[in-house]
Structure 1
Amino acid sequence: MLKDASALFKMNNNPNVLLYTGDLPFKNIKSTEDFIKNYNHYDTSNMGRWAVCGKKQGEFLGWCGLKHHPEKDYVDVGFRFFEKHWNKGFATEATKGVLSYAFNVLRIQDVYAYIDNRNPASMKVVENSGLSFLTKVIHEGNPSSIYHIKNELVNVKEISTEETIAIRHQVLRQGKPIESCSFEGDNLATTFHLGLYYYGELIGVATFIKNAHHDFNENFQFQLRGMAILQQFQGKRLGNVLLEKGLQQLKQLHANLLWCNARENAANFYSKFGFSTYGKPFDIPNIGKHYTMIKNIANTK
């Protein structure tokens, strides 16, 4: 917010605050206001740096938040506080809150922190927040350490064909014979099934079958089938986690195209993931209207 410009300007003009950041101080209040006005990470990534304020007086103490790096597709956590508020636990408290938001609301699977090796205080903050040392690198020209924490609340892993059947039946084929939940291609060596676990409980499934659609020319196509999330867990961004993991694995396999026959009520979900609709809608008997939707894997970030 623009009302934070003055405080942000003052904080960033302390050389001790900027010592290990690689940032330059703002030239004046106007340049600080321009920075805030042009800060678009909330719009582009649904995340960003948030102001940290005192509970009683509302004083601006500093900031803490998340940043998505699309070029390497990772999310990091960062923080910066007025020097007078160092060593009071504010950075650790804020970082823990941001991580909780990342895992419980945004459903991010992995969060990283890049810390300059000359900055043991920040290393202590991320360690106290639950991150663990991963490796040493040269980051922005300086020897640094990467720390990492994984979302243990939500986990995606490969499962067997048999493990997909119960959720397929409950979500996609309710009231129909259990045999209808088995798909052609389920047991091919090139097929993989993903299971989404929440607090250790299997709550969602998706199947990726190497199968070329006759209307598309790409030579390495996969079909997404049987993607289903138990009803009580729908609308909580958990399907995003499942599909993102599938796309990651397809990129590792160097697949060119992913396509699916999406139910009418799921088309918007796939559209938000960058799928485009191909052709006209069609009916699958006893199930309903569907759309063929496609996504170019090579363009997936």
Structure 2
Amino acid sequence: MNIIFKTNRLYLREFNIQDAIHFYKMNKDPDVIRYTGDTAFKSLVNAKNFLAEYKDYKLHNMGRWAVCLNENDTFLGWCGLKYHTNEKLVEVGYRFYKKYWNKGYATESAKASITYGFETLKLKDIYAHAHIKNTASHKVIEKCGLHVVNEFIYDGMPAKLYKIENPHYEIKQISAEETYLVRQPVLREGKPIEACVFDGDTEEDTFHLGLFFKSHLIGVASFMKNNSPIFSEPRQYQLRGMAILKEFQLKGLGKQLIDEGENILIQKKVDLFWFNAREIAVEFYKSKGFLISGDAFIIPNVGIHYVMLKRFQS
């Protein structure tokens, strides 16, 4: 039995095929699935097939988990984290047998899932949604510390979207020397520290941002006043040395550094923000509104790059 997390009353574990009977019974109750957009399983076999094909644990290192009582292993329902591939976000969700409603189990297990997401998976933020009329679910989500982001249509139904951010993350300005602690293992692996020093690092107009997790530096980005001859805008800044430690990659954390840097550049009344993007990072930067300028080129000993840019309205 793979236990994920324990609380005072509960433990969360990975599903097993024996849980199929609970999925079958819970989804047969119209009150349980009223606001979910789901339908009842046609048979117990269908429920078993669903669990047999459940791949989230292997694909995303997270998923929905069975919620059971510590004292006697009673299956109460499920709760956990789901990674939405298209939206690239993680959502906390839950479902319980009706006889276990109003006992605080949903709140207790959802808080445990959020703690696991922040402490173990080191997620930057976690979302949740609930049907507009699902008052009980709104109360659970709010007790867990999530705040409304907006209202939207989810699976064809009106819903509220909630969000909570990991309090252990912090972005602040750092020195050029501090950036080398992340630049070296990510961008210049196996090379001496001198290879991490960039022209412009110590210029007066340059600023460096550091992303910290529990006071440990895990990501960096440098913003340098530098006009490219291929652009005509008078006030330009270049991004250099964007890097996130391997353990923290693929969590959307680079977006936080870019957003904070852009806010500072806008305050500085910069016209154009540009950089040389590694080929593997192009799609990430496109998702942030950056455009490719010109053809691909090769930086020796580093690889294929593209010039990318974003113009700011003055």
TM-score, normalized by the shorter chain, greater than 0.5: yes
Any idea what the Cα deviations from partners look like across 1:228-248, whole Å, max 9, x if unmatched?
A: 76xxxxx7x335558643797
Check if 1:225 corresponds to 2:238: no
CA offset at residue 125 of structure 1?
0.6
Question: What is the CA–CA distance in structure 2 between the aligned matches of 1:259 and 1:128, rounded to whole Å?
Answer: 42
Opposite residue 161 of structure 2, the aligned amino acid is I
Question: What is the CA–CA distance in structure 2 between the aligned matches of 1:12 and 1:256, rounded to whole Å?
Answer: 51
Structure 1 pair 56/225, CA: closer, same or farther in 2 (3 Å)?
A: same
2:212/2:218 contact within 8 Å kept: yes
TM-score with structure 1 length normalisation? 0.68
Match of 1:26 in 2: 41
Structure 2: 5+ residue stretches without partners: 1-15, 229-237, 263-271, 285-299, 309-314
Question: What is the CA–CA distance in structure 1 between the aligned matches of 2:181 and 2:254, rounded to whole Å?
Answer: 23
Match of 1:165 in 2: 177
Residues matched between the structures, number = 256
Structure 1 pair 53/189, CA: closer, same or farther in 2 (3 Å)?
A: farther
Question: What is the CA–CA distance in structure 1 between the aligned matches of 2:73 and 2:214, rounded to whole Å?
Answer: 36
Match of 1:286 in 2: none
From 27, 50, 58, the counterpart of 1:35: 50
1:49/1:64 contact within 8 Å kept: yes
Question: What is the CA–CA distance in structure 2 between the aligned matches of 1:35 and 1:254, rounded to whole Å?
Answer: 48
TM-score with structure 2 length normalisation? 0.65
Any idea what the Cα deviations from partners look like across 1:109-152, whole Å, max 9, x if unmatched?
A: 11111111111111111111111122222222222111110011
CA offset at residue 74 of structure 1?
1.5
Match of 1:91 in 2: 106
Question: What is the CA–CA distance in structure 2 between the aligned matches of 1:54 and 1:293, rounded to whole Å?
Answer: 54
Structure 1 pair 95/22, CA: closer, same or farther in 2 (3 Å)?
A: same
Structure 1 pair 86/193, CA: closer, same or farther in 2 (3 Å)?
A: same
Check if 1:58 corresponds to 2:73: yes
From 245, 260, 264, the counterpart of 2:255: 245
Any idea what the Cα deviations from partners look like across 1:38-89, whole Å, max 9, x if unmatched?
A: 1122222222111111112111110001111121222111100000000111
Name the SS of the counterpart of 1:4 in structure 2.
helix
Structure 1 pair 169/101, CA: closer, same or farther in 2 (3 Å)?
A: closer
Question: What is the CA–CA distance in structure 1 between the aligned matches of 2:19 and 2:73, rounded to whole Å?
Answer: 11
Structure 1 pair 170/23, CA: closer, same or farther in 2 (3 Å)?
A: closer
Name the SS of the counterpart of 1:114 in structure 2.
strand
Structure 1 pair 211/28, CA: closer, same or farther in 2 (3 Å)?
A: farther
1:206/1:242 contact within 8 Å kept: no
Match of 2:266 in 1: none
CA offset at residue 13 of structure 1?
0.6
1:194/1:242 contact within 8 Å kept: no
Structure 1 pair 44/181, CA: closer, same or farther in 2 (3 Å)?
A: closer
CA offset at residue 17 of structure 1?
0.2
Name the SS of the counterpart of 2:136 in structure 1.
helix
Structure 1: 5+ residue stretches without partners: 213-221, 230-234, 261-269, 275-281, 283-289
Check if 1:108 corresponds to 2:123: yes
Name the SS of the counterpart of 1:121 in structure 2.
helix
Opposite residue 154 of structure 2, the aligned amino acid is H
Opposite residue 168 of structure 1, the aligned amino acid is Y
1:67/1:76 contact within 8 Å kept: yes
Question: 5 Å matches for 1:125-204?
Answer: 125-155=140-170, 157=171, 159=173, 163-168=175-180, 172=184, 182-186=197-201, 193-200=208-215, 202=217, 204=219
